[in-house]
Chains A and B, each alone.
Chain A
Amino acid sequence: MPTDPSLIDVRDLERTFDVRRRVEGRRRRAREQVRAVHDLSFSVEAGEMVGYIGPNGAGKSTTIKMLTGILVPTGGQVRVAGLDPSRDRVELARRIGVVFGQRSTLWWDLPLRDSFDLLQKMYRIPSARYRENLERFVELLDLGRQLDTPVRQLSLGQRMRGDITAALLHDPEVLYLDEPTIGLDVVSKGRLREFLRALNAERGTTLLLTTHDLQDIEALCDRVIVIDHGTSVYDGSLAGLHAQGGSTRTLVVDLVDEAPPVDVPGVTVRRVEGPRQWLSFPADASAAPIVAAVASTYDVADLSIQEPDIEDVIRELYSREG
């Protein structure tokens, strides 16, 4: 069968919504078309871990909804595992897993174990496979003591681990994670990332991750797709994102006395706060001549260099698009 080799294939995807808006002085509301997603194309190979990022309202959730088949595209094409998601939603559901940081897929009034049992029946997971998976995930995610606790009594971290187990029991080929670490403490975040990395390495599960926590991306994803105003503005490696976003490094200078913004070639003064000044310069330029130039002109008490922050890089990309 000549199927597309990519696990996820998105071509010229478009989704518009009709919005009715109240107009001053008119009785009928005006109809307006809003393009939530347009001209979006990308493909994801089996086994990739991809970060799908963008500001609120950029079209991330809309894309995920179309990838999982609960929203029908108004244009373009989507294929996941060779299936058309909106047409073959139920069949596709057996092959994907979905995790939401902000809502649970578990049944709040049931103990974890009963939720898992219900999922076994729902996804028709063979008993041996089910037991094996459950045992493995419970051990890896340290859920042993929570199995008989109703979901409503679990802490956020425990619930999240329960949700991840629930999403993986049927061995999905693709796992969509929507803000999986939101609200978790640092230790839980670390453990979760470690688990996801191991999952990808051992089972080759493809991960598509939307997040605002860029540490998730740095820890997990070799590739990021940045979406803004409904279309992709960057698709490539994390390192490439730094280059494209015009990454800058920052030299923080503590002068002995307050002074007007320093005047040194090759730097821009970002901020002045008393005797402290923040100077930015291109990430690929050497810091040495700049430090030397500052030190030769001013009395410097202290110096430090801040490496580029991916968050700034993305903000830069967003603002350029806008």
Chain B
Amino acid sequence: MLHVAIATRAFRRYSTYRAATLAGIFTNSVFGVIYSYAYLALWDANPTAGGYDAQDAVTYVWLGQALLMTIALWGGGSTDDLAERIRTGDVAIDLYRPVGLVGWYLASDLGRAAYHLLTRGFGPTLIGFLLFDIARPSSWLAAGAFAVSLVLAVVVSFAIRFLVAATAFWLLDQSGVKVMSGAFAIFFSGMMLPLVLFPGWLGTLARALPWASYVQVPADIWLGKHVGTDLAAALGFQLVWAVVLLAACRGVLRLATRKVVVQGG
């Protein structure tokens, strides 16, 4: 109940910035168009690159644009609030609460993600559908699995952002680590280029890292590249990373309260 209330509150808080939302949808759409033409040129040269056809490639572009804000690929979301509260010492107040910090900020981030999915997700997707030949999910099962995969993508991204924010306990400021983590995220999520195009060991590595959960896995589920046990394995991959990283968040938090002085007071 409490966590639903927290998520609802976060949703409402983001929904007050209407102009920013519209500007964001416009930006995502412009990038969607640019990437689409670039990918079309690429697939014109090699029509089966990475096992995708041209329609898959364009669909991938627009899914990426829809996911960008939903998973907060660049960082941001409730974890930025956390980093700021660590810096100012207000996190002490969060620690006085009879609620776990990880669950609290996760609920808040899911509320934010829901808002960004409805606006920054659906908005550009609609534009994409109007301008390009985008593939729909291959089946109802794929659509349902995509929804689950999306939630897991947000959780994995949250956990990584939480760990980045927690560095503020030691460094006071997360921004350096955040920029670095953002660079990893954009490259290894498949946002810049689908991971299926990465050759050899780099591809294997990229597909095993948690960032693959951000864009590559949900997109492949949408495109019907994972079916049957393969689909279960794809979701399992995300789930394992989500569990491992959330556990790491709890561990780091425990370490922080044990070793570090909470600022101020």
Seen from chain A, the residues whose Cβ lies within 8 Å of a Cβ on chain B are 17, 61-62, 64-65, 68, 70-72, 86, 89-91, 93-94, 96, 98, 100, 102-103, 105, 107, 109-110, 114, 117-118, 121-123, 178
Contact = CB atoms under 8 A, between A and B. Distances in A.
A65 B92 CA distance: 9
Nearest to A62: B261
B18 interface: no
B182 interface: no
A94 B99 CA distance: 10
B99 A90 contact: yes
A72 B257 contact: yes
B192 to A, nearest CB: 35
A122 B98 contact: yes
Contact of B98 (A105, A109, A123, A178): A123
A178 B13 CA distance: 30
A109 B13 contact: yes
A253 to B, nearest CB: 45
A117 B1 CA distance: 12
A116 to B, nearest CB: 12
Interface in B82-116: 88-90, 92-93, 95-100
Given A71-B261, A109-B13, A90 B96 contact: no
Given A70-B95, A103-B93, A110 B265 contact: no
Which 8 residue pairs spanning A and B have beta carbons closest together?
A: A93-B98, A121-B2, A61-B265, A70-B95, A94-B98, A105-B93, A90-B98, A98-B96
A123 B89 CA distance: 22
B265 A93 contact: no
A62 B90 CA distance: 15
B78 to A, nearest CB: 13
Interface residues of B, number: 23
Contacts of A118: 2, 5-6, 9
Contact of B265 (A96, A114, A121, A178): A178
Given A93-B98, A121-B1, A100 B265 contact: yes
Contact of B90 (A65, A103, A122): A103
B49 to A, nearest CB: 47
Given A68-B96, A93-B96, 16 more contacts: A17-B261, A62-B261, A70-B257, A71-B262, A72-B258, A90-B98, A93-B98, A100-B93, A102-B265, A103-B93, A105-B96, A114-B9, A118-B5, A118-B9, A121-B2, A122-B98
A70 B96 contact: yes
B98 A103 contact: no
Contacts of A110: 9
19 contacts: A17-B261, A70-B95, A71-B257, A71-B262, A72-B257, A89-B95, A90-B100, A93-B97, A96-B96, A102-B265, A103-B89, A103-B93, A103-B264, A114-B9, A117-B5, A118-B6, A121-B1, A121-B2, A122-B98
Given A70-B92, A72-B257, A122 B262 contact: no
Contacts of B93: 98, 100, 103, 105
Contacts of B92: 65, 70
A100 B264 CA distance: 11
Contacts of A98: 93, 96
B37 to A, nearest CB: 41
Contacts of B99: 90, 122
Nearest to B258: A72
Nearest to A109: B13
A180 to B, nearest CB: 14
A89 B99 CA distance: 10
Contacts of B265: 61, 64-65, 100, 102, 178
